[in-house]
Amino acid sequence: IRARFCRMDPALARAVRYAPDIRILNQDPWEALCSFILSQCNNIRRIRGMVARLCAAYGEPARGGGHAFPAPRALAAAGEGDLRALGCGFRAPYVREAARRVACGELDFALLRRLPLPQARARLTALPGVGPKVADCALLYGLHRLDAFPADVWMKRAMRTLFPGRDPAWFGPYAGVAQQYVFHYSRNHPELFRRENAGA
């Protein structure tokens, strides 16, 4: 994959060579979906705190101490007020509804692995509170759909700056891997965006 990317474009080659050993996070599908719902309008410290409180309140005891991530059925049965009290805020009803649909089989992760990407994304964005970025994060990190390309504001700027006129489909079936390289490279090279701003 790295060799293919390096042949595609000089900017992509620079990103790959900057962090050649980068890896894709491989989470449990439910944990990934729930965590990325919680990540909206949030920072890493607060997200970790919310997840820790949810685990302590609703997760099964884990071997070696602590608690496992709560099962969908546990969060589906939780009260919205209880989830808000743990810091979930406006995301509480989104977490409950996603949990309900997973627990009852309405949202089938095995099916999402098999569906064409646009259809899999559409199934996820049908959930309240799940937009394209959260859906693509769940697909990439939870279902290992390497064709999914999460695009937040930062990634959109990186695409405009490094790959003007191109969209994520240009990267092909490993678009999610390319996203990791480009995101890491651009976050560590803010001067790229100073040039963009100067030219604006």
- pLDDT tens digits, 51-91: 999 999 999 999 888 999 999 999 999 999 999 999 999 99
Amino acid letter, residue 174: Y
The answer to whether residues 178 and 171 touch, using CB atoms and an 8 Å cutoff, is yes
Give the largest CA-CA distance in the chain: 55
- Is-above-0.95 flag for pTM? no
Active site residues: 133
Give the whole-angstrom CA distance, residue 192 versus residue 126: 36
Domains and CATH numbers, the chain: 2-24+149-189 (no CATH), 29-142 (1.10.340.30)
Give CA–CA dist 51/138, Å, rounded: 16
Q: How far is CA 108 from CA 105, 128, 140, in A?
A: 6, 16, 16
pLDDT at 195: 60
Q: What is the pLDDT of residue 196?
A: 57
Residue closest to 96 by CA, chosen among 137, 128, 124, 123: 128
Q: What is the pLDDT of residue 64?
A: 87
Judged against a pLDDT cut of 70, whether residue 148 lies above it is answered with yes
